[in-house]
Amino acid sequence: MAKTFRSVFKTTSVINWFPGHMNMAKNSMKAQLGNIDVIIEVRDARIPFTSANPLLDGIGNHKPRLVVLNKSDLANSNMKARVEARFDHENIDSMFTSVIKGKHIQKILQWCTAAGKSQFQSTAGTVVMIVGIPNVGKSSMINAFRSLSSSLKVSKGKKKAVVGATPGVTVRTDMFKVNESPAIYVMDTPGVMLPNIPTPEVGLKLALTGAIKDDIVGVELLADYMLFILNRMNSKTYVKALGLPEATDDIEEVFEAVARQSGGVGKPEEIQRILAASYLLKEFRRGAFGTFTLDPV
Ligand SMILES: Nc1nc2c(ncn2[C@@H]2O[C@H](COP(=O)(O)OP(=O)(O)OP(=O)(O)O)[C@@H](O)[C@H]2O)c(=O)[nH]1
Report the CATH number at residue 155.
Answer: 3.40.50.300
Q: How far is the CA of 211 from the centre of ligand 1 (A)?
A: 10
User: For the residues of 192-234, what is the DSSP string, one character each?
Assistant: ---SS--SHHHHHHHHHTTSS-HHHH-HHHHHHHHHHHHHHTT
32 and 122 housed in the same domain: yes
5 DSSP β-pair partners = none
Position 75 pLDDT exceeds 90: yes
What ipTM did this prediction achieve? Answer: 0.98
225 and 84 housed in the same domain: no
Based on the structure, what is the number of domains in the chain?
Answer: 2
156 and 230 housed in the same domain: no
Q: Name the pLDDT band for 161 (thresholds 50, 70, 90).
A: confident
Rg (CA), the chain: 21
Q: Please report, rounded to a whole number, the percentage of residues in the chain having pLDDT higher than 70.
A: 92
166 and 251 housed in the same domain: no
Distance in angstroms (rounded) separating the CA atoms of residues 244 and 83: 34
Cα distances (Å, whole numbers) of residue 247 to 4, 42, 194, 201, 268: 10, 35, 34, 23, 26
Longest dimension (CA), the chain: 71
159 and 49 housed in the same domain: yes
40 and 146 housed in the same domain: yes
Which residue segment(s) compose the domain that 238 sits in?
A: 218-285
Look at residues 173, 188, 203 and tell me which one is the last residue of a structural domain: 188
Q: Name the pLDDT band for 152 (thresholds 50, 70, 90).
A: very low
87 and 126 housed in the same domain: yes
Nearest residue CA, atom 29 of ligand 1? 165
83 and 125 housed in the same domain: yes
77-128 per-position pLDDT tens digit: 999 999 999 999 999 999 999 999 988 999 999 999 999 875 555 557 899 9
| 65-70 and 126-132 strand pairing | unpaired
Distance in angstroms (rounded) separating the CA atoms of residues 167 and 215: 11
Please answer whether residues 32 and 129 qualify as being in contact, where contact means their C-beta atoms are separated by less than 8 angstroms. yes
184 and 229 housed in the same domain: no
Taking residues 192-200, report their average pLDDT: 90
Q: Please report, rounded to a whole number, the percentage of residues in the chain having pLDDT higher than 90.
A: 61
Q: Which amino acid is at 145?
A: F
> Which residues are near ligand 1 (CB < 6 Å)?
70-71, 73-74, 98-100, 132, 134-140, 163-165, 167-170, 190-191
**Is 40 inside any structural domain?**
yes
Q: How far is the CA of 139 from the centre of ligand 1 (A)?
A: 7
73 and 128 housed in the same domain: yes
**Is 114 inside any structural domain?**
yes
Distance in angstroms (rounded) separating the CA atoms of residues 191 and 145: 19
Our measurement of the distance from residue 211's CA atom to the centroid of its chain's CA atoms, rounded to an integer in Å, reads: 6
Alpha helices in the chain (DSSP H): 20-32, 54-57, 80-89, 105-119, 138-150, 200-208, 214-217, 219-232, 237-241, 251-262, 269-285
Position 153 pLDDT exceeds 80: no
156 and 38 housed in the same domain: yes
> Helix, strand or coil for residue 280?
helix
272-281 per-position pLDDT tens digit: 899 999 999 9
From 41, 72, 135, 166, give the residue whose CB has the most ligand 1 atoms within 8 Å, as the site to mutate. Answer: 135
Q: How far is the CA of 166 from the centre of ligand 1 (A)?
A: 8
The pLDDT of residue 235: 93
